[in-house]
Amino acid sequence: MKRLSLSLLVVIALMGLFLTLSPRPSLANPLAEGDWFRPIFQGPEIVNPYLTPRRFLSNPQSRFGEQLVLWEGRVRLHQRLGEKDYLLLATEAGQVPIYFAKPTRNLEFDRTGFRVAVKGKIDWRQGQFQGLQGQSCILLEPPASYSYPVWQNGRIPSAADFIAWRILFHNPTQKIAEVEEIAQALVDKCQARHLELALTASLIQIESAWDVEAVSRSGAQGLGQLMPRTAAGLGVGDALDPIQNLEGCTTMVANLVERWRQGTNPYASVLASYNAGPTLVRSRGGVPPLYAETNNYIYFIGYLRRDLLRLAQKYAIPGLE
């Protein structure tokens, strides 16, 4: 009996050592894949994910005026009128005019032919639907002339190559050598910290649109939009240096993943903490209900992550999960 107990203790010890030395598992998500990032709160400034172009355009109603939506489609026309942009978006249910009242990130270049997701409010005037009052634009995929297979040009698909393609179609004037260095650094840092590349890349795209020189009105800097105090706490000396910024960004995400790993909706809690701060999220026990920006932020990143994973499957890109 004692010999059996000793053997059992040895087995348990070996199992513990194996688990300690093995890579940590990816962030578990107990919610359905299509549900974890959808806003669970409602409000005039929170995106309504259920009011799709098909649902609204089949039966336009005035009660949806000023409702915030995220509509996906292909840009048929992009015009710049002074400092304002106009898009004609071909959605699944018809063409929708979109007007932007101020300069908008991702519209610095002609985006005709791009597949995009536009955040905007339904414009209902004079008894009918006028279009969307655009607020922001997420680039999903460029025209066929610059699709991933065209960029790939016979090379073996890789996660770094895929990320480099995305950086370049956001910022077509950036030097390819710098883009490739950034893409490879992101892949390496995600692998080293056992982070899902698709989630981390989506976060960075929403934060900065891959602009290494991005500075927000609040002072957040670089690819991961690190605030100066946050950057300093993460050991980042220059947040506008893309490699240093990625080091700080992935370290912060990894810390948040560890903190929320056992939560009921860990992905959402990680993203909410990155956006609004872990102290606030912890005090609310999860996503803060009255913070529309945070709820939308989670939705946009989850939406983009889902699209990235679909493209990765379509083009046989390894290593995004």
On the question of pLDDT at 28 being above 80, the answer is no
Query: Where are the chain's structural domains?
Result: 53-141, 149-314
What does the alpha-carbon distance between residue 222 and residue 214 come to, in Å, rounded to a whole number? 5
What does the alpha-carbon distance between residue 246 and residue 191 come to, in Å, rounded to a whole number? 13
What does the alpha-carbon distance between residue 22 and residue 191 come to, in Å, rounded to a whole number? 13
What does the alpha-carbon distance between residue 153 and residue 162 come to, in Å, rounded to a whole number? 12
Catalytic residue (choose from 66, 141, 180, 207)? 207
**Tell me, what's the pLDDT at 57?**
96
Residues 115 and 72: beta-carbon distance below 8 Å: yes
> 216-247: per-residue pLDDT in tens?
999 999 999 999 999 999 999 999 999 999 99
CA angle 124, 129, 132 (to 5 degrees): 75
For the chain, give the percent of residues with pLDDT over 90: 83
On the question of pLDDT at 32 being above 70, the answer is no
For domain 53-141, give the fold.
Answer: OB fold (Dihydrolipoamide Acetyltransferase, E2P) (2.40.50)
Please identify, in words, the CATH class of the domain defined by 149-314.
mainly alpha
Of the candidates 120, 114, 131, the one whose C-alpha atom is nearest the C-alpha of residue 209 is 114
Residues 305 and 199: beta-carbon distance below 8 Å: yes
Residue 207 is among the residues annotated as catalytic for this protein: yes
What does the alpha-carbon distance between residue 154 and residue 241 come to, in Å, rounded to a whole number? 32
Residues 247 and 195: beta-carbon distance below 8 Å: no
CA angle 95, 98, 100 (to 5 degrees): 165
> 120-172: per-residue pLDDT in tens?
999 999 999 999 999 999 999 999 999 999 999 999 999 999 999 999 999 99
